[in-house]
Structure 1
Amino acid sequence: MDKVSDDVKQQVDQLKEWANRQPNLPKDIEDAILLQFLHSCYYDLDKSKVTLELFCGIRSSSPELFTNRDPSSPPMKKALQILNLAHYEIPGRRFVWIWQLNDPSLENYDYVQDAKVFMLTTDSWLLSDKKLEEDDMVIMDVKDISLKFITKFNVSVAKKLSKYQEDAMPIRLKQIHIVNAPPFVDKLYALLKPFMKQEITNMIHFHTPNSQTLYDFVKKEDLPSDYGGTRKSMVEFNKDAMELLESRKEILSDDNLWRVEKKSKNKNEFSSDVGSFRTLAID
């Protein structure tokens, strides 16, 4: 982890002391994790508290996404086999996150399992991050997406996933790129857009197959070879991701990882009741 100033160390201690007093938060969260929350919130202590509580609260309220996550279990292996994932740093302390689906028929695709894989892999990267990024860029390759996706969609999970990605993850999300976007992408986007804040929709950029518009946002050489860059292929990046999952298997398989134990007493705070998001009106 990056070296930090004495002032930041003091903030980490303050956040930890506060978290340990909250009945609805896990005790003794690692300093490195708390630092990532502070950094993602630009060292605003109050905002870091809100983000951390939401991070843990959503996890507690979503057992379908955060339990039974052993990467070697048949359901998880099946979900992982149709994805290529990448997470790496490029110049400027920018981090690139890439999700690539490899299931043309969508026969093996399961929206809930895909969301579960997202949570699992981002947890593994969160546990292993050694640097504090200036911004994060997400690239989603939808080359194998078809209108059949609509039959796989789960509204409840989509709401939770969007809230988690937008407001709970300790990252500095700046751009979202949808590459190899099909002509009907507007129909699929219409399913997801209602769950997104305007701030997030403003970050989204669509790129049609064989276009070069992605290079307007990230240098070509900083992309995997699959996209004309000089970085490793997505298959190689995915191998790294799977090795990381295996190395963190024990902690990632813990159903209580960063999960809330009790309901908050503050009615204005995030409710950790299973299936209930007071601030989101999720049924």
Structure 2
Amino acid sequence: MKTHWESTAAKMTDTQHLDEKATQYIQEMRTWLNAQPYLPKDNIDDIFLLRFVHSCYYDIDKAKIAMEFFFTLRLACPELLNNRDPLSPEMQKVMEIVNLGQIATPEDECVWFWQLNDPGLEFYDYLLDAKFFMLSTDSYFLAKKTLPKADIVVLDVKDLSLKFLTKFNISVARKLAKYQEGAIPIRLKQVHLINASSAMDKIFGLMKPFLKKELTDLVHFHTAKSDTLYKYVPKENLPADYGGPHPPLAEQHKELVSVILSKRKELMDDTLWRAIPSDKKKISNPSPPIVSSFRALAID
């Protein structure tokens, strides 16, 4: 029996364009990659190369810039990418309080969900949360073969309070912001913070200096018991938690964890998709390229 994701994901590709140009894009990206001695060559299939071309709206030069930044930035983030066995006690800890999910919509979009279930933030760890984000997106890129027309992020911040400020890690936040803005190969369209309390203004104010204006302009806040989210994300594209017909996030989370575990061997490789260290190419804090992850995004 197919999972919810598998039964709907086939709809999520710019099929006509890729059918015509895919081979050309793959060949050019592969030739370029093979000519870069400091960039990795393992676990890079054709669809992975296409992700960068697709996320850059088929501008091959921008795709190369974005891909290089993806690899080099990961080299500078050992705290987010080392020692991340999904069966380890620390990763199991964060998986117990954070639910993640993904819904493929009829509009060829992917809605990414993050839900925190930790009232009082007794167990929350910002570094582990960021590490889990990297783990889950890596498993998505390893396992899924789809290229959504756009990506929408929904964050349920019902349990975030001012105590979050004591958990915040500025160094990790800077690197995570660079990764999300300039490296990750998706087409970010909207970011929604739902069940937002008044504390979110201060929390967002703390994080805003690390974010580009292009990203902050995509952020929308929705208070508890508000139906304003439906103006952007139709109810039929939401899980049961938020009034939609799809499985609740707790169930989707189990499916996502199963995908992570299926790719455990690759995810435990500390060199996965990282630039190769060398005396000539030392990278401690790479700067984002001119091309951000928004990549000339045409927002609907």
List structure 1 segments (4+ residues) > 3 angstroms apart after TM superposition. 1-4, 262-265
The aligned runs of 1:193-232 (5 Å cut-off) are 193-232=208-247
Correspondence for 1:251: 266
How big is the shift at 1:262?
3.2
Q: State the aligned residue count.
A: 274
Distance 2:145 2:32 in 1: 24
Distance 2:191 2:100 in 1: 15
Write out per-residue CA displacement over residues 51-78 of structure 1, whole angstroms, 9 at most, x where no aligned residue. Answer: 1011111111110001111100011111
What SS does structure 2 have at the residue aligned with 1:9? Answer: helix
Correspondence for 2:25: 11
Within the candidate set 11, 29, 51, 1:36 is matched to 51
Write out per-residue CA displacement over residues 162-203 of structure 1, whole angstroms, 9 at most, x where no aligned residue. Answer: 110111011000000000001121100011100111111110
Q: Does 1:155 align with 2:170?
A: yes
Distance 1:38 1:12 in 2: 9
How big is the shift at 1:161?
0.4
What SS does structure 1 have at the residue aligned with 2:185? Answer: coil
How big is the shift at 1:277?
2.4
Task: Quickly say closer, same or farther: Cα 1:46–1:263, change in 2 above 3 A.
Answer: farther
TM-score, structure 2 length as denominator? 0.88
Correspondence for 2:183: 168
Instruction: Report if the CA contact (8 A) 2:178-2:288 is conserved.
Output: no
Correspondence for 2:293: none
Q: State the Cα RMSD in Å.
A: 1.7
How big is the shift at 1:17?
1.0
Q: Does 1:277 align with 2:291?
A: no
Correspondence for 1:268: none
Within the candidate set 20, 24, 42, 2:38 is matched to 24
Distance 1:279 1:76 in 2: 28
Q: Does 1:50 align with 2:65?
A: yes
Correspondence for 2:295: none
What SS does structure 2 have at the residue aligned with 1:70? Answer: coil
Distance 2:121 2:54 in 1: 38
Distance 2:263 2:138 in 1: 9
What fraction of aligned residue pairs are identical, expressed as a percent? 49
What SS does structure 2 have at the residue aligned with 1:12? Answer: helix
Correspondence for 1:233: 248
Write out per-residue CA displacement over residues 247-277 of structure 1, whole angstroms, 9 at most, x where no aligned residue. Answer: 1111111111101103596xxxxx7523x22
What SS does structure 1 have at the residue aligned with 2:141? Answer: helix
Correspondence for 2:204: 189
Distance 1:197 1:93 in 2: 26
- Aligned AA for 1:170? P
Within the candidate set 97, 106, 109, 1:91 is matched to 106
What SS does structure 2 have at the residue aligned with 1:5? Answer: helix
Instruction: Report if the CA contact (8 A) 2:182-2:288 is conserved.
Output: no
TM-score, structure 1 length as denominator? 0.93
Write out per-residue CA displacement over residues 58-104 of structure 1, whole angstroms, 9 at most, x where no aligned residue. Answer: 11111000111110001111111111100120111000000000111
- Aligned AA for 1:256? T
Instruction: Report if the CA contact (8 A) 1:23-1:263 is conserved.
Output: no
- Aligned AA for 1:132? L
- Aligned AA for 1:217? Y
Gap regions ≥5 residues in structure 1: 266-270
Correspondence for 1:146: 161
Task: Quickly say closer, same or farther: Cα 1:218–1:278, change in 2 above 3 A.
Answer: closer
Distance 2:282 2:252 in 1: 35
Correspondence for 2:118: 103
Instruction: Report if the CA contact (8 A) 1:57-1:272 is conserved.
Output: no
- Aligned AA for 1:172? R
